Structures are given as structure tokens and as C-alpha cells.
């Protein structure tokens, strides 16, 4: 498909990293299916979670090597084109989700939602040309790192919240509801999911501020309502509005879960959709 | 009075304001200049009134330090952004190498009604510049040398470019992709004294094959100029645009006469003599002025820190428990844990919907 011949040295690492994520996904799904039959008070074997984490960590390490290889090959970090954006996003989503997975056992069954969501990016990146793009002169700025870094943390916490919300919604499907019977009640998951969305909200705010500082340095204006700015601001506003709505109205748990999924979809479209409806993701980018 | 404020402070009102702001933002997408300003101003004013009322009357905000700082930060951002728009200034300008900044050269000026900056005190002189290009004429870093007063009666050289603006008295000068060559010409009319000026050619290398311009001297006929450049430009190799290493032949066409001039040469035309003094370069700058920039940044950061502090305290008091109180301990080996379908009543569960 692409010019291999040793040119795109990052691809073998990328493919094996994605394979590790795929194995983590398979083991996570098999694991929750296997423990579904446990009755209250019975003992279930959750050792599969070790394997999921192991594969996820292997995927993260391999993706890190892949990003490093590419960095050495093209001379700049994964900031410019969609291929490297997806690569780095797969790395950061995997890293932060794995940290949460390791630290908070309560969320582990949500991997059956989080990992397939990451696979949207995984499949997408396989369809893209890995050729490098020129590094714009305005990207030589430390605020770019802060902006991109906060954005990745935002999307990662959003993913965690969405995965938990996904569990709430899946429980409504008769055929799969038993997969999650050993997880806490929906009310607990709801509170937990919104807690992660609040953390996401903080990092989204930091992303906007860091982006504004970078834009001021790079293009001589801190805000210009370009495609990404408008979309990310609307995303921030939607998240803020829904947080306020929760304190104002008694929102049913499933509706709350759908709201979280909407925020994630909006964020996903902002990150990965803007290049399709705007010639330059940020105006004056080149 | 307080009762009225409480009604204005309602979160329902907040949601309406946010929805209106969302509509305003969507309308402003990609065309902030052509969109009526009220689509943003109206919802922001409503939200500012709502915020101020909530800060004054809502105990859930004004008795919680972190949340109070966050909402004050939001209010501060709205106020500062408004002040910024009223006092800001934006413009473009082109400065020839060796020439000084003059506010008379500003183009596309947009400024707020309260703009009262001291642009007349801004002084700098444009020096040479270089722009690196990668194969395929892909623009890289710009290094623009400028001389600024050092405050001791002398001059100090600064190198600016791309994301490093020249900042003088709050005015920020950013280099742009718009730059090129110019010719320094002297017009010696048949009657009267000589006049020296410059003719800027279109942006280079963007308009490499359109390096032409026209000028009508006083008392003369229109002259067409075309600049033949030798800059070493190579589409397939790394290349640096540097006017000091460039050579330019000026081709003039007047009254159906075609004359080629090298620097220092003259041509007799109708109404006078035109002398091509030298080849020079010009740099296009974007000028931006907003006295609230630093305060906006500080206010935003304080606001976010306030929010983070609030949630840190709140979440610390209600730690995330696992379903059965297990710790994330991987050393236990088997990992066998009892199923718990009726979760222990954690504080998280008890708090219900408004917990977070």
C-alpha cells in the first residue's frame, strides 16, 4: 500500500502496537463475558485484567517507539498531519486509560467500551499515508506542547467517562447486561463518569488557554473563531452547560450517560473532523 | 433586591445564556468580522449579569473558595475581553529594509473606540531578514533583524520572526508570509528637485513570476516596472531568501520604450530622469495591540486553578472506591475477588446526581 522499502521505519512498531491493543480488547471482552455468570457473593476470577493491562502497556510502549522512530525520520514531533495526530492520540489515550485502569479497579470492565472506541482511531490510522508533512514555522513554540498535551489529557479523561457511561447504556441491553453485573450500581457509575468529565473540563479549559497563548504568538491574535477554535469552544460550552444542567434538573442516569457520549462524539469530531471541513485546521497555519 | 438577584442568578438563566452564546459562536465561525457583534455581546452580557448575581447570592458559590475564584475568573474574562475589544488595535504594514516604522504606513486598520495607545512613540528600523525554505518552496523560519532604541540614546538589534514578535509599548509586530523586494528609485524631474522613493513588488516567492508594478511620476506618464530577480531559488532544494544575496534587473516600460536598468543606472523618460538606486527588500508585518492580554491570561489561570482546587477538595473527601474495597494490588496473584452486585453504599452513591 505504501512505500515500505525501509522508508517508513515507524510502521512495524505501529502495527505491533495496534496488535497489542487488539489483544487487550479481545481479552477484555472475553473476560467480562466469562465473569457474567457469577451470582451474588460468588467468586469470580478477574485475573484477565492483568493480561489486559499487560497488552495495553505493551501497546503503549510500542506506539512510543513508533512515534520516536517517526520523529527521528521526519525531524519533528507528531503535531502536523492526521496520521501522526492519530498515532500520538492512540498513545495518549492508551496511556491515561491504562493508568486509570490500573489505579481504579472499579472502572476495569469499562475497557470493553474504551478499547473498541480507540480502535476507531486504530483502523483509521491504517488507512492513511504515513508520509511526513512540513513543520510550520509557527509550531516552534513551547505553548504548542502545552496546548496539545492538555488536549490529549482532556480527550483521555473524556474517554474514561464515556466508557463508564457506555457501561450504563449497555446494561440496558438485555443480552449484555450480565457482563457488568459485578460493577457498582448505575448511580455510582453515573457519579464516577461525571467526575471524570469534570477532570476533562479542567484540562479542556487549560487547553483553550494554552491554545490562545500559542495563537497570539503564532498568528498575532489569541482568538479568531477558526474551525478548531469554534468547535472546541462549543465543546467546552456544551460540557459546562451539561454540568450546570445536572445541578439544575434531575436528569435520569441513562440520559446523563447519553449526554456524556454526545460530549465525547463532539470532542472526537472537533479533533479529527475539523480537517475535513476546514482547509487549515487553524487559520494561517501554513 | 436580593430576591430579584437570586432569580437572575438562576442556573436556568445560565443555561439560556450558554445556549445563546453557543448560537453566537456558531454564527461567528470563520467570519468574525462579517458577523454582527451583538450575537456574542448579548449572551455575554446576560451571562455576566447572571454570574455576578450568582456570586453575590448563591452560597454554593460564594462560600466555596475554589468555586468562587473560578466564577470570578469567568466574570473577569468577560470584562477583560470587552475592555480588550474596546481598546485593541490591529493593522498591517510593509517596511522597507533600512526604513523606519511610521504609523502613516499602516493599512487595514481596525481599532476599538477607546484605543488610546501611544503608537507615535513606537520607533524601530527594519534591517535585513532571511527566510528558510525547504524543498517544494515550503516556508520555514523567518529571521528579521530590527533595530530598536536601547533607552540610552543608541540602538539595539533584535531578531524576530514567526512566533517571536517585536513588542514595543504593548504594540506587537509579527512578521508575515507577505514579504518581497522593492526598488529604490530617484525621480529627477525636468523642473524641480529630485524625489527618492520605493516601489514595492508583490510578495516573493509567492508571486515569483509577477514581480511588476506601476507608478506615475509627477508631471510624467505611467511607468510599468518589472523586476528580473536572481535569488538562487530552487524548487527542489533547501534555499534561503536573503535580499543581500539577490540581484535584480529593473525593466521599465514607458511610452512603448523598454529599458533595462542595473542598480546605479538612469533612464531619460518623458518629464524627467529615473535613476534605479538599488535593490531592497520589504517585510510585511501584522500589528496587534491589546492591553488586557496578560491580565486575561492571569485571570484564566487563576479561574482554572480555583476550579481544580474545588474539585480536588471535593474528590479527596469522596475517594473512588473499588466495588469491593480492593486496592490496585497486582502482587496478590490470583486476583480472585467476590462478586458484589449490591455495591457497598459509598459516599459517592449516596450523594446522588448533584454529587459532581
The predicted pLDDT at position A271 comes to 87
Q: What is the pLDDT of residue B118?
A: 86
Nearest CA in chain A to B298: A209
HEC string for chain A: CCCCCCCCCCHHHHHHHHHHHHHHHHHHHHHHHHHHHCCCCCEEECCHHHHHHHHHHHHHHHHHHHHHHHHHHHCCCCCCCHHHHHHHHHHHHHHHHHHHHHHCHHHHHHHHHHHHHHHHHHHHHHCCCCCCCCCCHHHCCHHHHHHHHHHHHHHHHHHHHHHHHHHHHHCCCCCCHHHHCCCCCHHHHHHHHHHHHHHHHHHHHHHHHHHHHHHHHHHCCCCCCCHHHHHHHHHHHHHHHHHHHHHHCCCCHHHHHHHHHHHHHHHHHHHHHHHHHCCCCCCCCC
B181 lies in some domain: yes
Determine contact: A186 vs chain B, CB below 8 A.
no
Domain residue spans in chain A? Answer: 7-35+46-135, 136-286
Q: Which one of A41, A103, A137, A280 makes the best mutation probe of the B interface by having the most chain B beta carbons within 10 Å? A: A137
How would you label B170-207 residue by residue, b for 16+ Cβ within 10 Å and e otherwise?
A: bbbbbbbebbbbbbbbebbeeeeeeeeebbbbbbbbee
B132 with B160, same domain?
yes
Contact B11 A192 (CB under 8 A): no
**CB within 8 Å: A140 and B162:** yes
Residues of B in contact with A39 (CB under 8 A): 339
Residues B44 and B178 in one domain: no
Place of cell 494561517: A284
Q: What is the C-alpha separation between A78 and A60, in angstroms, rounded?
A: 15
Shortest Cα–Cα distance, A10 to chain B (Å): 23
- B352 assigned to some structural domain: no
Shared domain for B143 and B169, answered yes or no, is: yes
Q: What is the pTM of this model?
A: 0.89
Q: Could you read off the pLDDT of B100-151 as tens digits, one per residue? A: 999 999 999 999 999 987 899 999 999 999 999 999 999 999 999 999 999 8
Q: Classify residue B322: in a domain, yes or no.
A: no
Radius of gyration of chain A from its Cα atoms, rounded to whole angstroms:
20
Write out pLDDT tens, residues B57-83: 999 898 999 999 999 999 999 999 999
For chain A, which ranges sit under pLDDT 50? 1-4, 283-286
Residues B127 and B246 in one domain: yes
Contact residues, chain A, for B140 at CB < 8 Å:
134, 137
Residue of chain B with shortest Cα separation from A233: B25
| Angle between the N-to-C axes of helices A227-248 and B11-28, in degrees from 0 to 180, rounded to the nearest 10 | 170
Q: What is the pLDDT of residues B165-212, one digit of tens each?
A: 999 999 999 999 999 999 999 999 988 899 999 999 999 999 999 999
Residues 264-303 of chain B whose Cβ lies under 8 A from any Cβ of chain A = 286, 288, 290, 293, 296-297, 300-301, 303
Within 8 A of A244 by CB-CB distance, chain B residues are: 11, 14-15, 18
Nearest CA of chain B to the CA of A123: how many Å?
31
pLDDT at B323 over 70: no
The answer on pLDDT for B345 being more than 50 is no
What per-residue confidence (pLDDT) applies to B329? 36
Q: pLDDT band at residue B352, thresholds of 50, 70 and 90?
A: very low
Q: Using a CB–CB cutoff of 8 Å, tell me whether B336 touches chain A.
A: yes
Q: What is the pLDDT of residue A176?
A: 87
Mean pLDDT of chain B: 88
* CB atoms A217 and B163 under 8 Å: yes
B201-209 contact pairs (CB < 8 A, 24+): B201/B225, B201/B227, B203/B177, B203/B178, B203/B179, B203/B284, B204/B179, B204/B180, B204/B229, B204/B231, B204/B241, B205/B133, B205/B137, B205/B231, B205/B233, B205/B241, B206/B177, B207/B180, B208/B233
Selected residue with higher pLDDT from B222 and B328: B222
Residue B336 included in any domain: no
CA distance to partner chain A, nearest, from residue B271 (Å): 45
Tell me, what's the pLDDT at A274?
75
| pLDDT greater than 70 at residue B326 | no
Q: Do B335 and A38 touch (CB under 8 A)?
A: no
**B161 and B302 within one domain:** no
Predicted local distance difference test score (pLDDT) of residue A133: 86
- The pLDDT of residue A192 is 94
The pLDDT score that the predictor gives to residue A276 is 67
Domain interval for residue B252: 90-289
What residues of chain A lie within 8 A of the CB of B136, using their CB?
Answer: 134
C-alpha cell, A119: 480502535
Q: Is residue B82 part of a domain?
A: yes
Sort out which chain A residues have CB atoms less than 8 A from B32's CB and list them. 224-225
B-chain residue closest to A253, CA distance? B353
3-state secondary structure of B120: helix
Residues B341 and A180: beta-carbon distance below 8 Å: no
Q: Looking at the domain assignment, is residue B117 inside a domain?
A: yes
State residue A285's pLDDT score.
Answer: 42
CA distance B288 to chain A (A): 6
pLDDT at B353 over 60: no
Q: Is A234 on the interface with B (CB under 8 A)?
A: yes
CA distance B179 to B205: 9
Percent of chain B with pLDDT over 70: 90
Give the model's pLDDT for residue A64.
98
Q: Residues B24, B127: one domain?
A: no
Are residues B55 and B155 located together in one domain of the fold? no
Same domain, B8 and B107: no
> Which of B16, B19, B29, B235 best probes binding to A when mutated, by most A CB atoms within 10 angstroms?
B29
Q: How many CB atoms lie within 10 A of CB A144?
A: 21
| Overall size of chain B counted in residues | 356
Of B2 and A23, the structure prediction assigns the larger pLDDT to: A23
What pLDDT does residue A43 have?
60
Give the gap in angstroms from C-alpha A154 to the nearest C-alpha of chain B. 14
pLDDT of residue A40: 52
Interface test with B, best of A200, A225, A282 (most B CBs within 10 A): A225
The band of B356, judged by pLDDT with boundaries at 50, 70 and 90, is very low
Instruction: Say whether B33 sits in a helix, a strand or coil.
Output: coil
ipTM entry: 0.89
Tell whether A224 lies on the interface with B, counting CB pairs under 8 A: yes
**Do residue B356 and residue A42 have CB atoms under 8 angstroms apart?**
no
Same domain, B105 and B155: yes
- Indicate the pairing of strand B257-261 with strand B266-269: unpaired
- Residue B348: list chain A partners with CB under 8 A: 188, 191-192, 195
A-B CB pairs within 8 A amount to 192
The answer to the question of residue B334 being in a domain is: no
* pLDDT value at residue A155: 97
Q: A251 to chain B: which residues are within 8 Å by CB?
A: 353
The CA distance from B69 to A205, in Å, is 14
**Closest CA–CA distance from residue A37 to any residue of chain B (Å):** 10
Using an 8 Å CB-CB cutoff, list chain B residues near A182. 323, 339-341
Domain count, chain B: 2
What's the pLDDT at B3?
Answer: 84
Same domain? For B120 and B221 the reply is yes
DSSP letters of B158-176? EEEBTTB-EEETTEEEEEE
B72/B302 Cα distance (integer angstroms): 9
- Which residues does chain A have within 8 Å of residue B321's beta carbon, measured at their own beta carbons? 106
Report yes or no: B286 and A218 within 8 Å, Cβ to Cβ: no
Query: Is B162 touching A (CB cutoff 8 A)?
Result: yes
| B26 shares its domain with B163 | no
User: Tell me, what's the pLDDT at A175?
Assistant: 85
Same-domain pairing of B118 and B152: yes
B332 within a domain of the structure (yes/no): no
pLDDT for B330 beyond 70: no
B349 touches chain A (CB under 8 A): yes
Question: How big is the CA angle at B43 (ends B73 and B35), to the nearest 5 degrees?
Answer: 115
Amino acid at each position: 500500500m505504501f512505500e515500505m522499502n525501509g522508508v517508513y521505519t515507524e510502521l512495524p512498531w505501529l502495527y505491533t502496537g495496534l496488535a497489542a491493543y487488539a489483544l487487550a480488547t479481545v481479552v477484555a471482552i472475553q473476560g467480562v463475558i466469562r465473569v457474567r455468570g457469577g451470582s451474588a457473593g460468588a467468586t469470580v476470577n478477574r485475573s484477565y485484567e492483568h493480561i489486559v493491562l499487560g497488552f495495553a502497556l505493551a501497546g503503549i510502549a510500542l506506539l512510543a517507539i513508533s512515534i520516536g522512530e517517526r520523529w527521528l525520520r521526519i525531524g519533528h514531533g507528531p503535531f502536523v498531519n492526521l496520521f501522526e495526530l492519530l498515532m500520538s492520540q492512540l498513545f495518549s489515550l492508551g496511556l491515561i486509560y491504562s493508568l486509570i485502569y490500573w489505579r481504579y479497579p472499579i472502572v476495569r470492565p469499562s475497557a470493553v467500551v474504551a478499547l473498541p472506541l480507540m480502535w476507531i482511531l486504530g483502523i483509521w490510522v491504517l488507512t492513511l499515508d504515513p508520509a511526513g508533512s512540513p513543520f510550520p514555522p509557527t509550531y516552534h513554540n513551547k505553548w504548542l506542547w502545552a496546548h496539545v498535551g492538555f488536549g490529549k489529557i482532556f480527550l483521555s479523561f473524556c474517554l474514561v467517562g464515556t466508557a463508564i457511561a457506555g457501561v450504563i447504556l449497555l446494561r440496558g441491553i438485555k443480552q449484555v447486561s450480565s457482563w457488568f453485573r459485578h460493577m457498582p450500581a448505575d448511580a455510582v457509575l453515573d457519579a464516577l463518569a461525571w467526575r471524570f468529565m469534570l477532570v476533562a473540563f479542567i484540562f479542556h479549559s487549560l487547553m483553550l488557554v494554552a491554545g490562545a497563548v500559542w495563537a497570539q504568538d503564532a498568528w498575532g491574535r489569541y482568538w479568531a473563531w477558526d474551525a478548531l477554535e469554534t468547535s472546541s469552544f462549543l465543546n467546552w460550552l456544551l460540557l459546562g452547560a451539561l454540568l450546570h444542567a445536572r445541578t439544575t434538573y434531575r436528569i435520569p442516569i441513562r440520559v446523563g450517560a447519553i449526554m456524556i457520549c454526545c460530549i465525547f462524539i463532539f470532542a472526537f469530531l472537533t479533533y479529527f473532523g475539523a480537517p475535513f471541513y476546514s482547509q487549515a485546521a487553524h487559520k494561517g497555519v501554513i | 433586591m436580593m430576591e430579584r438577584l437570586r432569580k437572575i442568578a438562576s442556573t436556568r438563566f445560565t443555561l439560556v445564556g450558554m445556549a445563546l452564546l453557543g448560537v453566537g459562536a456558531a454564527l461567528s465561525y470563520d467570519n468574525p468580522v462579517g458577523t454582527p457583534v451583538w450575537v456574542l455581546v448579548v449572551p455575554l452580557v446576560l451571562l455576566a449579569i447572571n454570574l455576578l448575581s450568582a456570586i453575590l447570592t448563591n452560597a454554593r458559590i460564594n462560600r466555596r473558595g475554589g468555586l468562587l475564584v473560578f466564577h470570578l475568573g469567568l466574570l473577569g474574562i468577560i470584562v477583560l475581553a470587552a475592555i480588550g475589544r474596546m481598546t485593541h488595535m490591529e493593522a498591517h504594514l510593509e517596511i522597507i529594509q533600512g526604513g523606519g516604522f511610521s504609523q502613516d504606513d499602516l493599512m487595514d486598520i481596525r481599532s476599538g473606540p477607546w484605543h488610546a495607545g501611544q503608537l507615535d512613540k513606537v520607533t524601530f528600523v527594519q534591517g535585513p531578514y532571511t527566510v528558510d525554505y525547504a524543498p517544494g518552496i515550503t516556508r520555514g523560519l523567518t529571521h528579521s533583524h530590527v533595530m530598536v532604541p536601547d533607552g540610552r540614546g543608541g540602538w539595539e538589534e533584535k531578531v524576530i520572526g514567526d512566533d517571536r514578535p517585536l513588542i514595543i509599548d504593548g504594540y506587537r509586530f509579527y512578521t508575515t508570509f507577505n514579504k518581497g523586494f522593492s526598488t529604490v528609485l530617484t525621480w529627477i524631474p525636468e523642473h524641480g528637485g529630485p524625489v527618492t522613493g520605493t516601489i514595492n513588488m508583490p510578495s516573493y516567492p509567492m508571486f515569483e513570476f509577477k514581480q511588476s508594478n506601476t507608478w506615475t511620476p509627477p508631471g510624467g506618464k505611467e511607468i510599468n516596472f518589472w523586476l528580473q530577480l536572481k535569488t538562487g531559488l530552487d524548487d527542489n532544494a533547501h534555499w534561503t531568501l536573503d535580499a543581500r544575496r539577490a540581484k535584480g534587473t529593473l525593466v521599465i516600460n514607458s511610452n512603448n520604450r523598454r529599458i533595462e536598468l542595473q542598480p546605479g543606472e538612469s533612464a531619460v523618460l518623458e518629464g524627467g530622469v529615473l535613476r534605479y538606486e538599488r535593490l531592497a527588500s520589504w517585510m510585511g508585518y501584522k500589528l496587534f495591540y491589546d492591553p488586557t492580554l496578560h491580565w486575561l491570561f492571569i485571570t484564566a489561570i487563576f479561574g482554572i486553578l480555583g476550579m481544580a482546587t474545588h474539585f480536588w477538595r471535593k474528590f479527596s473527601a469522596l475517594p473512588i472506591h473499588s466495588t469491593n474495597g480492593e486496592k490496585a494490588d497486582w502482587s496478590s496473584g490470583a486476583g480472585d475477588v467476590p462478586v458484589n452486585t449490591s455495591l457497598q453504599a459509598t459516599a459517592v452513591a449516596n450523594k446522588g446526581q448533584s454529587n459532581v
